[in-house]
Amino acid sequence: MSLFDRLRFASQLLAEVARGARLVGMRNVVRTALYRPRLTRMNRRFGGPWGPGFQAPAGNVVGMEAMEDGLMLRLEQGVCSVQVISPHMLRVRIAAGDVMPPYASYATLPEAKRPTPFSWREEGESIRFAVDDRALILRKTPFGLAWEDEMGQGSLGTETLTWEEEGGRLHLRFPETIWWYGLGERACHLALERRTYALTTRDPEGYGPGDDPLYVNIPFLLGVHEGRAFGLLLDRMSDGEITLRRDGGIEYRILGDEIRLDIIFGPEPAQVLARYADLTGRAPLPPLWTLGYHQSRWSYETEAVVRAIAREFRQRRIPCDAIHFDIDYMDGFRCFTWDRQAFPDLPGLLADLHASGFKAVGMIDPGIKVDEHYDVCADGVAQDVFCRLPDGSLFHGPVWPGECYFPDFTSERVRTWWGQWYKRLVDAGFDGFWNDMNEPTIFGGQTFPPRVRHAFEGLGAAHWQVHSAYGMQMARATLAGLERWRPHRRNWVFTRSAYAGTQRYASSWTGDNRSAWEDLRITPAMLMNLGLSGLSFTGSDIGGFEGSPTPELYARWLTSAAFHPFFRTHTAKGAAWQEPWRYGEEVEAICRTYIELRYRLLPAIYTLFWQYATWGMPMMRPMFFEDPADEVLLALDDQWLFGDHLLVAPALEEGMVARDVLLPAGDWYDFWSDERLAGPAVISSPTPLDRVPLFVRAGAALPMGPVRQFVEDKPDAPLELHIYPGSGVSWLYEDDGETLRYREGDYRLTRFKMDFDGHRLRIQRQMAGDWQPPARALTVVFHGVLIERAFLDVTPHSVINNQMQIEDDSWQILEAMIV
């Protein structure tokens, strides 16, 4: 190493130490440095083989036997089972031993598996396993597999299946022109690049485009070829990697002695995602306030600061529903406590926030400070809930409070213990909870030693076998605790780390991004791939977590994020304050306008969440949902569909004054001007700082509400139905937004079917459910046409300024004549 290289290395090391000291304190920098050799010693002492312990190909099929739900094949090295999950899903498991181990999964639901007729027959050197007109083809010599749907589309076959000392390696061939999506959280374009992706969860301590892995590992791939889609769930919680090869194939490597492959047939992308939701579960409807605007910072460190932030929002008339409390509200970073000096009357503060329409969200980490005088720690030791090393000693590592123990969330008993501690924070007045540092993270970008022991629901496991599900199970424990203490209300948890199926328990966000234009540019793609992996209720730290955005960057980020599922500003300690009024009057006014628009769109956004919770459809949808055979749409990731009818195309680059927008086939209305535009077409749309190009599909009935300062403000305000003439179907889902009564039918679902021939517009309304909204008027607003006269259930009805005021809630048909 040259002198220059040594000096550069020393400079980088000092910069990292300085950054660490600024963020976590010098004491924790020292603790981290001391932990690293201890981790090395633990790994050396407790390490050992991960998987088969030999290296050999799987070999030929040497025997087979029928099972009730499929086939069991015996290989020269291992066994393979093929099972039917449902008419559109198959499961392949390949194990290195002579016996297939018991099936255990945190990702999939037992009830997803249902009796389904199937057939199989030998065809020379292969076995054809069929469910209706979908088939799995199993090659005998050497063992391999392929599958095809009713049109013959699917995998081209297995190149190799090899066992290695530490795990398995599977090569699958696909057409070179296939497109891949999903894989959870990836800091890249929507169409996954042909490269290797790590299958694990990790705190990258800040990241930018291309960095991998990140906090969320969802090993689900959506493949699209020639307009037909299918899904692959590679359900293993241990570390692995997947290479998307340039020839279209995939190479899958995983630690351990079992490979799993759940195959989900389409052919429509929406059908694949609906079936993936059948397999891994659906998100519950959230409290309505979670869809409003959230304000956060690391940290609002005192009661006075929190009160000042809340006061500014209300005085400036900028809508906001939630203020987040980062880790500094705690007493010395001890979970389930608060600092009595900084927050001398936390229950009183939260009560006052509630009186002003705010909800409070508190952070909780998994690390419990090693302190015999700290009740959570002392009780945890007494109840034996913390993770242990193979020699029986308690594992501990440095995080925010110093040395910490960590609960074993893979035990139902421990999850129950964890949930009980939320009572004191619920009683204090917190409304939602934020689970952080649960990859799990030890300072220094590290995690648990691989041989830390877990109960794994009584089966027993080492940490390396369940690593990616640790954060998911923490979220599960958190939600269960909240349901215990607030059994009749909807509870909300959001988690930094997640695995397949986490949507059943929590939402998420993209973690510690940077205040940089390239980070804003990849954010829509990251959120869409998360949605294509089943986790749609996600967002980013508006403005960037690390660093301080320019006024232009903050404005562009917030106006874009108004059309993301989760809408929160958050920033790091040491960065500039990032409340909407910090960037001058112009930016404040722009932010207010778009936050107000978000609140006006809440009836539509809540309906999008109902579609996600019911059908598995992501709220933020890629453009290729319009035509999965269109290669231009397959690659497009700087514009998106926010539900069925809104097309969002924000400016994501510095200094942009106009941008191209691709309008899919059909007619579209410019949201701002009502101009009707014909697609498919590429148009140039102006992008001044106060303008997000926004378009509405012809045939949409778009529900909107009033400007509110928070979601419970103006509950009896009129509902608006904005009509964009064309032919189509629209939905409106409503309930009380707070309780669980919707599960018993206490909701209202309205379907609007619109027909338009250029002269006459007809809207048919159908309703289901028992919920009755507050007494309110309905204002129907027509766009892009001039209404001459209108009829409500054949009775003439007045139209003033292209609007109708409807007091009668029983109408079924609206007809309007165009001038």
Alpha-helical (H) ranges within 47-149 are none
Q: Which two tokens stand for residue 252?
A: 């899958």
Q: Is 193 a catalytic residue?
A: no
SS3 call for 486: coil
**H or E element, residue 323:** strand 322-325
Q: Which of 315, 290, 293, 286 is nearest to 599 (CA)?
A: 293
Q: Which two tokens stand for residue 141?
A: 């010599």
**368-371: Cβ within 8 A, 24+ apart:** 368/334, 368/335, 368/404, 368/405, 368/406, 368/407, 369/332, 369/333, 369/334, 369/401, 369/402, 369/403, 369/404, 370/396, 370/402, 370/403, 370/404, 370/405, 371/334, 371/401
Give the whole-angstrom CA distance, residue 686 versus residue 658: 4
Contacts of 487 (CB under 8 A, 6+ apart): none
Give the whole-angstrom CA distance, residue 65 versus residue 786: 71
Three-state SS for 553-567 is: HHHHHHHHHCCCCCE
What φ, ψ does residue 415 adopt, rounded to 5°? Answer: -60, -40
First CA to last CA across the chain, in angstroms?
81
Catalytic residue among 436, 596, 637, 670: 436
Give the whole-angstrom CA distance, residue 325 versus residue 361: 6
Q: Is 165 a catalytic residue?
A: no
Alpha-carbon Rg for the chain, nearest whole angstrom, is 27
Helix 602-615 vs helix 585-600: angle between axes, to the nearest 10 degrees? 50
CA dihedral in degrees (359, 360, 366, 370; nearest 10)?
A: -160
Please count the other Cβ atoms lying within 10 Å of the Cβ belonging to residue 686: 12
Give the whole-angstrom CA distance, residue 441 versus residue 512: 14
Answer whether the bond into residue 680 is a cis peptide, omega within 30°. Answer: yes
DSSP 717: P
Give the whole-angstrom CA distance, residue 642 versus residue 621: 6
Contacts of 705 (CB under 8 A, 6+ apart): 599, 600, 602, 603, 714, 717, 719, 720
Please count the other Cβ atoms lying within 10 Å of the Cβ belonging to residue 318: 21
Number of H helices, E strands in the chain: 15, 49
Catalytic residue among 439, 519, 588, 596: 439
Handedness of CA 624, 190, 217, 19 (dihedral sign): negative
Residue whose entry in the numeric block shows the structure tokens 């421990």: 414
**H or E element, residue 272:** helix 269-280
Q: Are 774 and 716 in contact (CB under 8 A)?
A: yes
HSE-up of residue 517 (Cα within 13 Å, Cβ side):
11
Q: Which of 175, 139, 137, 122 is nearest to 263 (CA)?
A: 137
Q: Which two tokens stand for residue 501?
A: 């199926």
Q: Is 436 a catalytic residue?
A: yes
Q: Which of 378, 371, 426 is nearest to 403 (CA)?
A: 371
Catalytic residue among 148, 257, 431, 512: 512
Q: Are 258 and 102 in contact (CB under 8 A)?
A: no
Give the whole-angstrom CA distance, residue 355 versus residue 313: 14
Give the whole-angstrom CA distance, residue 546 versus residue 516: 9
CA dihedral in degrees (69, 75, 78, 84; nearest 10)?
A: -20
Active site positions, annotated: 436, 439, 512
